[in-house]
A and B are shown apart, each in its own frame.
Chain A
Amino acid sequence: MKSFRISTLSSVVLLAFAFGTNNAHAVGVAAGTSIDNTATVDFTVGTVTSTATSNTTQVVVAEILDVSVTPPTGQTPVAPGTTGHVLRFRVDNLGNGAEAFLLVANNAVTGDNFDPVAASPAIYLDTGGLPATAGVFDASDVPYIPGSNDPNLVADGFVYVYLVNNIPNTVTDGNTGRATLTASARTGTGPQGTVFAGQGTGSTDAVVGTTTASDVDQGEYLVQGVTVTAAKSQVVLDQFGGARPLPGARITYTIVVNAVGTGTASTSIFADDIPAGTAYVAGTLTLNSAPLTDGADVDAGTYETTPTPRVRVQLGDLKQASGTQTIQFAVLIQ
């Protein structure tokens, strides 16, 4: 008996990216601002009232180094063996002066089932890191090259950063794979209060804030796999009412197709060759007990003779929730 085959295109459903909300805001007066203060005193000596003025104190605002990384919302569904899956992060400059940030991606994160495989390039800056980034991964996005186009963000500014990864084909339905993005202030990082003398905006000092001037967050891929199985059985009915496979006997084949998993088998097609030594009985092709026409037309089934005789049934996008699909057709033993 010839084996049947089922061909499917695995589908990938991309969730619409929720617009990432960021609750933190940049702190403070712009670095380099000079704050002068002078006191006055009024006083009376005898009958004369006068005013005196103090020296002017000057305080210069130092630069705070602070950053936050916001991860993608929820999990990103992927199919095994597929490529080019994007995780969108947002990097915010929470300090009070313009600052450039070093970006590093890491796929060897613990706690998941597989390591996403970095595409090449692996990191993109939304619209090249320019202001008014749209937050959608498209042709305007520029590959990130560390040290060459580190995003330079103004105080309270942000940029969307995309990590692009491929999924191994050895993963199975329900597996998760994590990748992190770390952003660090180029002026320096360290415990809160670390001072980089003279390296702040306007030649003031740069001081590390509460975030240690570095932040990391992770995105997660979720494998939505689907396995399609087909179980085939047959019933033989000869012309004498028995079940002997004599010439002239009729074999009725029943194939039950089932999809298991959380994914979708897109555009599934069942095809089965008519076994050698038999001939297809016209008009016997059914799907879920509904008759299908043999000719190529709008319904799901056809009987084809080239390159070899076979029946073919289109099953559409199969999910586990679609339930079993039962195909039947009959042949006569020649």
Chain B
Amino acid sequence: MIQGTRKIFAAATLLACGLVSQVHAQGAPADKGCILLKSTAEVAKEVVDAKGVKSVQMVTAEKVVPGVEVTWTVSANNICKVPSEKVTINNAVPVHMTYVAGSATGAGSDITFSLDGKTFAAPAQLTVVENGATRPAHADEYKHIRWVFKDSLAPGATAVARFRAVLN
């Protein structure tokens, strides 16, 4: 099996859509670069319109105070003409932040977590040994999140993973 990686770099921007530095032509080697992966970090902002009506908008997170929740959205877009299988998105819980229990979502995926980056399991199977006793891990101890999409990702389709974390 040839395994290779080709990094697709996209500059962080203020807008939700990222820039693409490399576009693969259809029919190009299909084992590389078929997934365009984008990540956004956003916070909820209360907005008051001209009539004084309040609503909540998601805006790009730039300068955040401790205690604020940030929402990450990772989207995997199949830019090839053939399906991608076993699409698995991995995202570490960012440093200085604490995962919000139950906030990880991803339609069509099984979500597992890891405390050490090596072993991934469902919450019920994650344990911690503390003072000689084994106990279930708390959500605020999760360090990594994994989304395994069960179905193949069709050409042009996008798989979306999302989670929230609070700034310590």
Binding site for B on A (CB under 8 A): 27-29, 33, 35-64, 96, 200, 204-205, 207, 209
Q: Please name 29 pairs of A and B residues whose Cβ atoms are closer than 8 Å in the assembled complex, sorted by A.
A: A29-B96, A35-B96, A37-B94, A39-B74, A41-B35, A41-B74, A41-B90, A43-B88, A44-B85, A44-B86, A48-B2, A48-B3, A48-B30, A48-B32, A50-B4, A50-B6, A50-B34, A50-B35, A52-B37, A53-B7, A54-B37, A55-B18, A56-B12, A57-B61, A59-B63, A60-B62, A61-B63, A64-B66, A200-B63
- Tell me which of B38-46, B49-57, B115-123, B133-141 binds A: B38-46
B107 contacts A by Cβ under 8 Å: no
Q: Which residues of B contact A49 (CB under 8 A)?
A: 1, 3, 86
Q: In the complex, which residue of chain A has the Cβ closest to the Cβ of B70?
A: A59
Report if A60-B89 is in contact (Cβ < 8 Å); known contacts: A40-B37, A43-B153, A45-B82. no
- Cα(A53)–Cα(B10), bound, Å: 9
CB distance from A242 to the nearest CB of B (A): 94
- Cα(A52)–Cα(B22), bound, Å: 12
Binding site for A on B (CB under 8 A): 1-12, 18, 30-41, 61-67, 70, 72, 74, 76, 80, 82-92, 94-97, 153, 161, 167-168
Contact status B86-A35, CB under 8 Å: no
Q: Which residues of A contact B61 (CB under 8 A)?
A: 57, 59
Contact status A54-B38, CB under 8 Å: yes
Contact status A61-B96, CB under 8 Å: yes
CB distance from A205 to the nearest CB of B (A): 5
CB distance from B8 to the nearest CB of A (A): 6
Residue in B36, B39, B167 whose CB lies within 8 Å of A28: B167
Contact status A35-B65, CB under 8 Å: no
Contact status B65-A55, CB under 8 Å: no
Q: Which 6 A-B pairs have the closest CB atoms?
A: A28-B66, A48-B31, A55-B10, A57-B41, A54-B37, A54-B39
Report if A62-B35 is in contact (Cβ < 8 Å); known contacts: A42-B86, A46-B30. no
Contact status A62-B86, CB under 8 Å: no
Which residue, B65, B85, B94, B153, has most C-beta atoms of chain A within 10 A? B65
Residue in A28, A44, A47, A56 whose CB lies within 8 Å of B65: A28
- Cα(A144)–Cα(B76), bound, Å: 60
Q: Which residues of A contact B8 (CB under 8 A)?
A: 52-53
CB distance from A188 to the nearest CB of B (A): 14
- Cα(A39)–Cα(B7), bound, Å: 11
Q: Which residues of A contact B62 (CB under 8 A)?
A: 59-60
Q: In the complex, which residue of chain B has the Cβ closest to the Cβ of A30?
A: B96
- Cα(A165)–Cα(B74), bound, Å: 62
- Cα(A51)–Cα(B30), bound, Å: 13
CB distance from B35 to the nearest CB of A (A): 5
CB distance from B165 to the nearest CB of A (A): 9
Residue in A41, A200, A204 whose CB lies within 8 Å of B76: A41
- Cα(A50)–Cα(B7), bound, Å: 10
Q: In the complex, which residue of chain A has the Cβ closest to the Cβ of B31?
A: A48
Q: Which residues of A contact B34 (CB under 8 A)?
A: 43, 45, 50
Report if A42-B2 is in contact (Cβ < 8 Å); known contacts: A53-B7, A55-B9, A96-B66. no
